[in-house]
């Protein structure tokens, strides 16, 4: 395959409810190359696939970290089920652990749970683990250096993250689309890093990023991205 990987953002999230088993299955049917999903820690130390710190209930917002698996909304899957739904494609697991979120965990327990699950499933070679929190990804690499990792960044100058990625042993950098230009892509490649850009839905921008040689495009519309790249 030539050109960038098409990475379905939270599954086929324009067509289906994001981060659900249906969104992941639809992305597989659309022939996305990879699927990105988010994990958060539950009150009973399970890995829930959900983007936000909280979810809606009839009584109002409830935090994932204060909920057991039995108390989660029905559409929120666990990571193990999500991996089953993503069978056959690369999975980018984003560990949500942001300092400003109410569920921030300075002990980075999710890193260990994710590593243990991947080892139990012999899934290390089909997974990329990412996070905005450098400490979380450092913990993943400390526990299992064989797991590919990437640092997410929305820095105004994403080139500042390149040396940190190289020093930490990451295979990729995941910059915010609006901060990416051709020079950045070249600079990342020059130090041996892959560039997976998020989140891009416009065909013209997808084509431009492909011309610049990015390695992956995270998108809510994998079918549109594949068509734009001539792979539909």
Q: Is the pLDDT of residue 124 over 80?
A: no
Q: Facing residues of 149 across strands?
A: 129
The rounded mean pLDDT for the chain is 96
Position 1 scores a pLDDT of 63
What is the predicted pLDDT for the residue at 215?
99
Rounded Cα–Cα distance for residues 125 and 112 (Å): 17
The residues that bridge with 202 in the sheet, in sequence order, are: none
Fold that domain 5-228 belongs to in CATH: TIM Barrel (3.20.20)
**Which residues lie closer than 8 Å to 147 by C-beta, 6 or more apart?**
115, 118, 124, 127, 129, 140, 141
Scanning the chain, the segments in alpha helix (DSSP H) are 21-29, 79-85, 109-121, 134-143, 162-168, 182-190, 203-212, 222-228
pLDDT tens for 177-209 read 999 999 999 999 999 999 999 999 999 999 999
* pLDDT, tens digit (0-9, with 9 covering 90-100), for 145-162: 999 999 999 888 888 899
**pLDDT on residue 151:** 98
pLDDT at residue 125, rounded to an integer = 79
pLDDT digit string, tens, across residues 71-89: 999 999 999 999 999 999 9
């Amino acid at each position: 395959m030539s050109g960038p990987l098409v990475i379905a953002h939270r599954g086929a999230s324009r067509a289906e409810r994001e981060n659900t088993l249906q969104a992941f299955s639809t992305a597989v049917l659309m022939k996305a190359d990879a699927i990105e999903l988010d994990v958060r820690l539950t009150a009973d130390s399970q890995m829930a696939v959900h983007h936000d710190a909280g979810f809606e209930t009839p009584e109002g917002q409830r935090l994932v970290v204060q909920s057991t698996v039995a108390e989660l909304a029905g559409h929120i899957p666990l990571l193990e089920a999500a991996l089953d739904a993503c069978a056959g494609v690369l999975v980018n697991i984003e560990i949500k652990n942001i300092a400003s979120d109410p569920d921030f965990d300075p002990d980075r327990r999710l890193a260990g749970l994710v590593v243990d699950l991947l080892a139990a499933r012999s899934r290390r070679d089909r997974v990329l683990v990412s996070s905005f929190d450098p400490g979380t990804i450092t913990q993943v690499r400390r526990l299992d250096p064989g797991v590919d990792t990437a640092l997410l960044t929305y820095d105004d100058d994403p080139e500042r993250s390149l040396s940190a990625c190289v020093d930490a042993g990451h295979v990729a950098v995941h910059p915010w689309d609006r901060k990416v230009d051709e020079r950045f892509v070249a600079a990342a490649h020059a130090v041996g890093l892959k560039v997976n850009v998020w989140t891009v839905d416009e065909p013209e921008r997808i084509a431009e990023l492909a011309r610049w040689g990015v390695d992956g495009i995270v998108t809510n519309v994998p079918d549109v991205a594949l068509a734009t790249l001539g792979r539909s």
